[in-house]
Amino acid sequence: MGIQKKVDTSGITLPSGFDSLDKYASELDSAYQQYGYLARMHIVDFFVSDHWSSLPQEWQEYFDADDFEIVTLINMASAGTLKATCPDSLRTYVNQMFALQFPREKANLHSKSSQTEEEKLKILKYFLEGMSPKKQAEVAELSQLINDVAKASNCQQITDVGAGQGYLTRVLAYASGSSGAELLALDHDWKQAYGAEKYQKRILKRLKGPHARAEGYQWDDSLAKRIMHDVQPIDMQSARALKAIAKSSIPGGNYMICGLHACGDLSSAMLKSFAESDMAAVVLVPCCYNHITENSYVHGAVFGKQLNQSQYCAQPGFPLSTKFPNVVFGTNALKAACQAALRWEHDFGRTMEAFKRNYFRAMLHHLMVSIGGLSTYDKFPVVGSITNTLMENARLRIVDRLDDNAADATDDNIEFAVYVEAALENINYTWRPTIAQCINCCGQIRHGLKRMAAVWALRSMIGALIESILVVDRAAYLSENCGAGGSVRAFALFDPVTSPRNIVFVAQRKK
C-alpha cells in the first residue's frame, strides 16, 4: 500500500517566526489564556463594573499621566507604536498581540489570474453598479478567485451561499473569465432572492442592448439560463441540507460552494458541509464573529454557569477543529474580534467621535444605576444608533431647560446631557435626569474618556488575536477534513483598511 499524500497547507499564511500551524495555534491559545480578561470586558458597563481596576497598576498610572493623550492610544492599537515611557509589561502585551496577528496584508494574485485588465473593466461596467466601492472591490477580487478555483477543480456547479441581491453570483456567471459552471444563488430571505432575480433581468436587458454590442460584449442567450435562485435557511444543524442543495442539479458532477461575508455560524456551516460531503472545493470570506455559537459545555464550566437545555448547542460554530478544545470567548470577546483598529489612524476624527459616543453610553449606564433605579444586574437597554438628527432635536430641548444649576456647564458635559436626552428619547425611556445631574456625573469621573479609550484600545488588540484564533481553527478544520492530496489556503484577499474582514479560505480536494 502506498503512502497517502498529506493535505497541502502551505497556502495558509503564518506570521513571521512560525513554521507550523500547530506551534502558531499553541501560542495563540497561551496568549488568550493570559489576556482574555481584557476581551471579556464590556464598554457599556465600564464604570458600573469598574473595569479600570482590572488593569495592572503600572498600566493605570501610565494611561492616567497628565501628558498622556488619546492619540497615543490610536497609534498603539493601529500600528503598535509606543512611547519610551511605556511600562515593560504593557510593551510586552502590545508586541505580543501584533506578533501573533494573522497576516492581514493583501495578497497579490493578479499574476496568477486568468483575467486580463480589459476583462475586469467589463465586469466593473456591467455588473458592479449599485454597489459601494468597497463591495465592488471585494466582488471583483473574490469572483476572480472563485472562477479560477472552479476551473481548477472542474466544477459544473457553484452555489453562492448567502447570495443576497446576487451581485457576486452574476459576476461569477456572466463576466469574462467565468468558469462556465451553473450558478445557484442561495439565500434565507425570499425578498433578497426576488430582488436578485429582478436586478438580474435588468442587467441582462442591458447586455443585449446596442451599447454593450458596440463595446464588444458578445451575448449568448444560453447565459440567461445559468443562474437559479433558491431560498433556504442554513445553520449548523442543516449543513447536510446545504450539501444536498448544492449537488442537486448535477448528480455525479463536481460542485463547490462559496460565500462573501457569510455571517457568524453560516460560515461554520459552510465549512462543515464541505467537510462532511464530496464537494470539490469551498471558497469563503467569513464575517460577524459575534454571531458564532460556542461549545456550551466548556462555556458553562469556564464561566461557572448552569445552562438549561435550551442553551446547549450540540453543534457549535466554534471550535470546529481539534486545536482549541478549552478556549471559550463569550459574547463580549467575539464582539471584540469585530474591531478594526487598523482603520483608526486613517480616520482620526471618526475614531475620536466613536470613543466619545461609547464614553457617553457608559456614563449613561452609570447614571441610570446610581440615580435612575436601574440595578447593576439589570440588562442595560439597547440604545441603538444616535443620529445627528436625534442629537440636534435633543439639543433644542436641552437649551430650553438650562437654568442656574447648569451655570458651571462646559461644552463637553452639556454634550453629554444632550446625548442622554437623545438616547432616552430613542428608546422611549420615561426617566430623565436633570442637566445638573448629568454635569455632576461628568465631574465625578476623573480621566473617564481617556480610561475608557485605553481599555477599548487594549480590547481591540486582543480582538485581533481572537480573530486569528478563529482563522486558525477554521483553516485547521479544513486541513483535518480535506482528504489526502487536497490543499487548504487561508490568506488576506482584500485591502485590510477598506475591508477589515479580509481573510479568505480556499479548500480543494484532489481531483
pLDDT in tens, 254-304: 999 999 999 999 999 999 999 999 999 999 999 999 999 997 655 554 555
Question: What pLDDT sits at residue 2?
Answer: 40
Q: Is the pLDDT of residue 486 over 50?
A: yes
Q: Is the pLDDT of residue 118 over 70?
A: no
Question: What pLDDT sits at residue 385?
Answer: 87
Q: What are the C-alpha distances in Å from 442 to residues 6, 84, 386, 449?
A: 61, 31, 20, 10
Edge-to-edge order in the sheet of strand 182-187: 8-12, 487-492, 503-508, 281-287, 255-263, 157-161, 182-187, 227-231
Question: What pLDDT sits at residue 124?
Answer: 63
Question: What pLDDT sits at residue 501?
Answer: 95
Q: What is the pLDDT of residues 40-94, one digit of tens each?
A: 999 889 999 999 999 999 999 999 999 999 999 999 999 999 999 999 999 999 9
Question: What pLDDT sits at residue 409?
Answer: 64
* 9 sits in which H/E element: strand 8-12
- Residue bearing the bigger pLDDT, 157 or 224: 157
**What is the pLDDT of the chain when averaged over all its residues?**
87
Q: In angstroms, rounded to a whole number, what is the distance separating the alpha carbons of residues 465 and 445?
A: 31
How many CB atoms lie under 10 A from the CB of residue 275?
19
Nearest to 243 by CA among 325, 306, 161, 174: 161
pLDDT interval class at 313 (50, 70, 90): low
**The model scores a pTM over 0.85:** yes
pLDDT interval class at 3 (50, 70, 90): very low
Q: Is the pLDDT of residue 1 over 50?
A: no
Lowest mean pLDDT among 20-29, 236-245, 429-438: 236-245
- Beta carbons within 8 Å of 50's beta carbon, 6+ residues apart: none
Taken in order of first residue, the domains within the chain and their CATH numbers are 110-287 (3.40.50.150)
Average pLDDT of the segment spanning 477-503? 95
Nearest to 274 by CA among 153, 365, 430, 411: 153
Q: In angstroms, rounded to a whole number, what is the distance separating the alpha carbons of residues 287 and 456?
A: 21
Lowest mean pLDDT among 34-38, 76-80, 105-109, 119-123: 119-123
User: 474-490 burial, b for 16+ CB within 10 Å, e for fewer?
Assistant: bbbbbbebbeeebbbbb
- Beta carbons within 8 Å of 309's beta carbon, 6+ residues apart: none
pLDDT interval class at 121 (50, 70, 90): low
- Residue bearing the bigger pLDDT, 313 or 398: 398
